[in-house]
Chains A and B, each alone.
Chain A
Amino acid sequence: MRVSLASRVRGSAVYRSIVRHGTTATNRNRSLVVFENLFLHVHPVKVREKTLRFTHTFWLGGITLACAFILFVGGIPLMFYYHPSVPQAYRDMKELQYVVDNGVFLRNLHRWAAHAMVLVAVLHMLRVFYHRAYRPPRQFNWVIGVLLLLATLLLSYTGYLLPWDQLSLWGVSVGTSMVKEAPFIGERIRFYLLGGNVVSENALLRFYVLHCVVLPVALLLLVSVHVWRVRKDGGVQGPAGAERKNEP
C-alpha cells in the first residue's frame, strides 16, 4: 500500500512528540484529543447527548464567549494604531477609519461584538434563570455570572470613552456624575476613576488601562472559574426535568 505524505508526517517522531493521539477513529483517540490538550481539557471526555440540542441552552453562553474571543483578538490590532492621549486619540480613530487597511472593518467588528456580548450575556442570564439552572450546587456560579455581567458592562463603558468624540466625552461625564452621587465615597471614587475632577486626558489614560488590561484580565479569570464550575457541577443544565425538582 502506498504510504501518503500525510501519514508519513503523522508517523514521524517530531509529529508524535507534539501530537499525542493517533488518527484512527477509536474512542481512545477521541478521548486523548480532549484529554491531552490544555485548552480542550476543560471539557469532560464524554458529554450528555441531550446537552447538544439547541433548545437545551440555546448556546447562549457559548455565543457570549465567542463574542468575548472576537473582542479580545480584534481589540489587540486596534491597539497598534491608538494613542490614549488628547487629541491624538480622535485623530487615530480617523486614521483607523480612512487610512488603515480594514481599519473600519476591525473597528466596526469590535463595536458590534461589544453590543452583541452585552445583549447575549443578558439573554444567557435570563435563560439560566427561567430554567432554574442556578439551583444547588450551582448557586455560586450564578454569582460569578453576575460579576461577569458587571465586568462586561464596565468593559463596554470604559471602551466607550476611547474614541474621544462627543458621544464618548458626554456619555462618560454623565455616568461619572452619577457615581459622584453615592453617599460618602462617591466623590472619592469619581476622583480615582477620572484621575482628576473633570473628564480629561487623565481619565482617558485610566479608562484605557482599565479597558485593555485590568478588566480583560478580570474577565478572563472569572470566565475560567465560571466554565470550570460548570464542568464540576455536572455540565450545562437545561430545562429542569422531573428528576431534578427540589434537589438538596
Chain B
Amino acid sequence: MSVPIKIVESNDPMADPWRVAIVRPDSRPSARATEDRFVMTFPHLIVREVILFQLVLTVLSLAAIFFDAPLLGIANPLETPNPAKAPWYFLGLQELLHYFPPVVAGVLMPTLAVIALVVIPYARINLVAGPLWANASAKKAIALGAAVALVALLFGAFACWPIVVPTLALGIAMFATRGWERATSVRRLLWEVTLPEWIMTWFVIIATLLTVIGTYFRGPGWSWVWPWENAPRG
C-alpha cells in the first residue's frame, strides 16, 4: 500500500447515482489475498448442522431414557434438608460460602468474575499477549512471584485451601516453563502459554475444584465427607 488513499464520504441523499463514498485515487481495491477455499453452504454446512443436531438429540435422549431426573418430597418450608444443596453449577459458589461471608462469596466474587469476563476483549493484555517469558526479565519474575504469593496468602488467610493449592501449583508451573523456549513439543507448547491464558486456566481449575468438592465431598452440616461414604446425591 504505497499510495495513501483518501475516502470522501457523500452526504447528499439526492445524488444520482447514489454515492456512499468515493475512494481516491481511483484504483481498483484489491481483495486480501487468501488461500482459503470456499464451498457452498448448502449442502456442506447445512448437512453437518443437521447431523450435529441429530447426534445431540440422540445422546440426550439416551440419557433421558436411562437416567431419571431427581424428584424429592414436596417442598416443606418448615423442614430444611441436610445438607441443602444448590444445583451443580452453583455448588462451587456454595462451597466458597463456607470460607467467606455471604456478601463476599455470594455477591462480590461472582460480580467480579462477570466483570472480568466482560472486560477480556477490551483489555490490552489480552490483545497483545505473547508467551509469558517472551521478554523475560528479573523484574517480571519478581512481580509474578509476588502476585502468586499474595493471592495464596490472601486466600490462605481464610483457610480456603481449594484456591491456595492450585494457585501455588500453577505458580510453580509458570516458573518451570521459564527456560523452555528452545525445548520441543509439550514443553515448547507450555512455554507459549500467555499470561491471560494462565490466569483463565487458574480460574477454570479453581471453579472445577470448588464445584467437585461441593458436589461430592460435602455432607450434613456442610461437613467434609468422602464420596464413598456418602449416599448418592440427589
Residues B38 and A167 in contact, CB atoms below 8 Å apart: no
B85 within 8 A of A: yes
The smallest C-beta distance from A208 to any residue of chain B, in angstroms, reads: 14
B15 within 8 A of A: no
Using A90-B74, A97-B71, A153-B89 as known contacts, say yes or no to A146 and B122 having CB atoms under 8 A apart: no
The smallest C-beta distance from B83 to any residue of chain A, in angstroms, reads: 9
Chain A residues within an 8 Å CB radius of B70: 165, 167
Residues A46 and B40 in contact, CB atoms below 8 Å apart: yes
A143 within 8 A of B: yes
With CB as the reference atom, state the residue of chain A lying closest to B83: A170
The smallest C-beta distance from B164 to any residue of chain A, in angstroms, reads: 23
- B-binding segment of A1-9, A10-18, A105-113, A216-224: A105-113
Q: Mark A153-190, 1 if CB is under 8 A from B, else 0.
A: 10011001001111111110111011101110010000
Task: Among B48, B65, B72, B97, point to the contact of A166 (Cβ < 8 A).
Answer: B72
The smallest C-beta distance from B135 to any residue of chain A, in angstroms, reads: 15
Residues B94 and A174 in contact, CB atoms below 8 Å apart: yes
The smallest C-beta distance from A150 to any residue of chain B, in angstroms, reads: 7
The smallest C-beta distance from B13 to any residue of chain A, in angstroms, reads: 24
Using A63-B56, A115-B88 as known contacts, say yes or no to A43 and B41 having CB atoms under 8 A apart: yes
Chain A residues within an 8 Å CB radius of B36: 48-50
B28 within 8 A of A: no
Q: How far is the CA of A137 from the CA of B60 in the complex (A)?
A: 35
Chain B residues within an 8 Å CB radius of A142: 120-121
Task: Among B53, B75, B90, B97, point to the contact of A168 (Cβ < 8 A).
Answer: B75
Using A52-B48, A181-B102 as known contacts, say yes or no to A30 and B64 having CB atoms under 8 A apart: no
Kindly state the interface size class of chain B when it binds its partner.
35 or more
Chain A residues within an 8 Å CB radius of B86: 171, 174-175
Residues B57 and A66 in contact, CB atoms below 8 Å apart: yes
Residues B40 and A134 in contact, CB atoms below 8 Å apart: no
Chain B residues within an 8 Å CB radius of A115: 88
Q: How far is the CA of A86 from the CA of B107 in the complex (A)?
A: 30
The smallest C-beta distance from A29 to any residue of chain B, in angstroms, reads: 9
A226 within 8 A of B: no
Residues B56 and A70 in contact, CB atoms below 8 Å apart: yes
A69 within 8 A of B: yes
Using A49-B36, A108-B68, A163-B71 as known contacts, say yes or no to A118 and B89 having CB atoms under 8 A apart: yes
Residues B106 and A129 in contact, CB atoms below 8 Å apart: no
Chain B residues within an 8 Å CB radius of A132: 126
Q: How far is the CA of A67 from the CA of B128 in the complex (A)?
A: 35
Q: Which of B70-102 contact A (CB under 8 A)?
A: 70-77, 79-81, 84-90, 93-94, 97, 102
The smallest C-beta distance from B225 to any residue of chain A, in angstroms, reads: 19
With CB as the reference atom, state the residue of chain A lying closest to B107: A182
The smallest C-beta distance from B93 to any residue of chain A, in angstroms, reads: 8
A126 within 8 A of B: yes
Residues A178 and B106 in contact, CB atoms below 8 Å apart: yes
Pairs A–B under 8 Å by Cβ, sample size 13: A30-B41, A40-B42, A43-B45, A46-B39, A49-B37, A50-B36, A50-B37, A52-B39, A108-B63, A129-B120, A135-B126, A165-B70, A166-B72
